């Protein structure tokens, strides 16, 4: 798990959010494009939403049902987004999800954070499989997922309804052994 620890990458820190992060999280996540391209983020995104997420992260870490982190820049500490693994312990698998604030997009932060968290999932949490998905209307997210080492597994047509739009959902997955062969244990 992450609780007291921080996962540090070349440019980022993945850490457990605290109550003092709520205003910065709300400011970063309050973006209609993020909401439209994610399944669960509300819009508008308020400080109360940020506080609920912070509590959900703490609960997930405590129960082992999730390993979520705030993505912050190592230099300056700005909130760049969030990344998480929603864990199914019975099957030793997790679903990878993330979002990146508008001003931090197209800089490789989503990939850098996702690779670090997937590595953590396979090497520290004992996961056997990681999967992820994106709306077909959001190919940028698909590029991130591919760079993270997951492989296409199919499309669920008309699978999601979000903010009045029906979406095809593109599925990806990877097994521990194949991911570690490609990316190493770190």
The answer to whether residue 161 is domain-embedded is: yes
User: What integer pLDDT is reported at residue 186 of this predicted model?
Assistant: 80
* Total count of domains within the chain: 1
The answer to whether residue 150 is domain-embedded is: yes
User: What is the total residue count of the chain?
Assistant: 186
The CATH code of the domain that includes 150 is 3.40.630.30
The answer to whether residue 112 is domain-embedded is: yes
The dihedral formed by the CA atoms of 93, 134, 150 and 62, expressed in degrees to the nearest 10: -30
The answer to whether residue 60 is domain-embedded is: yes
Distance of alpha carbon 135 from alpha carbon 19, whole angstroms: 31
The answer to whether residue 2 is domain-embedded is: no
Question: Strand 151-162 to strand 129-135: parallel, antiparallel, or no bridges (unpaired)?
Answer: unpaired
Q: What is the value of pTM for the model shown?
A: 0.96
The answer to whether residue 1 is domain-embedded is: no
User: Nearest-CA neighbor of 10 among 113, 150, 120, 117?
Assistant: 113
Query: pLDDT, tens digit, for every residue of 130-175?
Result: 999 999 999 999 999 999 999 999 999 999 999 999 999 999 999 9
Domain limits for position 46: 7-183
Query: pLDDT, tens digit, for every residue of 52-86?
Result: 999 999 999 999 999 999 999 999 999 999 999 99
Phi then psi for residue 178, to 5 deg, are -70, -35
Using the predicted structure, report yes or no on whether residue 4 has a pLDDT greater than 50: no
Query: pLDDT, tens digit, for every residue of 38-53?
Result: 989 999 999 999 999 9
Distance of alpha carbon 55 from alpha carbon 136, whole angstroms: 31
Q: How confident is the model at residue 1 (pLDDT cuts 50, 70, 90)?
A: very low
Using the predicted structure, report yes or no on whether residue 120 has a pLDDT greater than 60: yes
Using the predicted structure, report yes or no on whether residue 3 has a pLDDT greater than 70: no
Q: How confident is the model at residue 2 (pLDDT cuts 50, 70, 90)?
A: very low
6-22 mean pLDDT: 97
């Amino acid at each position: 798990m992450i609780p007291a620890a921080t996962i540090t990458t070349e440019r980022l820190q993945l850490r457990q959010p605290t109550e003092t992060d709520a205003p910065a999280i709300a400011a970063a996540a309050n973006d209609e494009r993020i909401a439209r391209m994610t399944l669960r983020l509300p819009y508008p995104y308020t400080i109360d939403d940020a506080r609920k997420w912070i509590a959900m992260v703490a609960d997930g870490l405590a129960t082992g049902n999730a390993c979520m982190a705030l993505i912050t820049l190592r230099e300056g500490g700005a909130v760049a987004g969030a990344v998480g693994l929603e864990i199914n312990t019975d099957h030793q698998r997790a679903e990878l999800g993330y979002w990146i604030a508008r001003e931090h997009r197209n800089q490789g932060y989503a990939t850098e954070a996702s690779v670090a968290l997937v590595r953590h999932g396979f090497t520290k949490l004992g996961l056997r499989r990681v999967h992820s998905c994106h709306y077909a209307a959001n190919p940028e997210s698909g590029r991130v997922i591919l760079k993270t080492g997951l492989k296409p597994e199919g499309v669920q047509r008309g699978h999601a309804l979000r903010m009045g739009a029906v979406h095809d959902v593109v599925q990806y997955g990877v097994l521990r052994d194949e991911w570690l062969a490609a990316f190493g244990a770190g």
